[in-house]
Amino acid sequence: MSDILISPSILAADFAKLGEEVRAIDVAGADMIHIDVMDGHFVPNLTIGPGVVKALRPHSQKPFDVHLMISPVDAYLEDFANAGADLITAHPEAGPHFHRTVQAIKKLGKKAGAALNPSTPASELDYVLEELDLVLIMSVNPGFGGQSFIENQLRKIEEIRERIEKLGTSTILEVDGGVTPDNCTKVINAGANALVAGSAVFKNGPENYAKSIAALRE
């Protein structure tokens, strides 16, 4: 994997041929496959369940970076782990005891992530950051693709990066929402080392996936 991890979000892919799309971004140089799971309750949209994740698993050996925007979340962790998720990210607000959620993910043999919505402060990760494999900063309000980057999230990225450095952990700091070749440099300079990109990768068609991924990484 490169220093900057690119995790294309299949939320922006052609849902009529998801398997083909996953294979295409794998070949194009994706480091991870980002899978957005929405329940129409925690966020105002519905996407996919563990059955689709399981169906996609044979199409790539790259890590499945599964972001659960569902509440309550704990009851579904095992289903997504069994479906083939490698890294499971949940929101602190999606259950009564987030530390227990993290422990449950680890017990399933998976890497654990925490997602922070734009209005969720970095302090939500107090007393749990050292146990996380990934922190996902949402730079748009979750629910829909194609939104514009919220600039004030750069301060949060900087704050989380500082905390990770103080802990001395290898926690991945990922950013999702409105990331494009035009703004990814400042996102990386703020401290991110993983970028989720939907429209920025998929909008120009499969023949340009490699070029789009390279543009983000460079």
Q: Is 176 an active-site residue?
A: yes
143 is in an annotated binding site: yes
Rounded CA separation 215/101 (Å):
35
168 is in an annotated binding site: no
Rounded CA separation 8/97 (Å):
30
191 is in an annotated binding site: no
Q: Is 65 an active-site residue?
A: no
109 is in an annotated binding site: no
Rounded CA separation 161/57 (Å):
31
Residue from 26, 65, 133, 176 carrying the catalytic annotation:
176
64 is in an annotated binding site: no
The burial of 109, by beta-carbon neighbours within 10 Å (0-12 exposed, 13-18 middle, 19 or more buried), is given as: exposed
176 is in an annotated binding site: yes
Single-letter code of the amino acid located at 94: A
113 is in an annotated binding site: no
Residue from 26, 31, 36, 74 carrying the catalytic annotation:
36
> What tokens were used for 127?
């007393």
Known binding-site residues for substrate equal 9, 67, 143-146, 176-178, 198-199
Known binding-site residues for a divalent metal cation equal 34, 36, 67, 176
Known binding-site residues equal 9, 34, 36, 67, 143-146, 176-178, 198-199
Which residues are the active-site residues?
36, 176
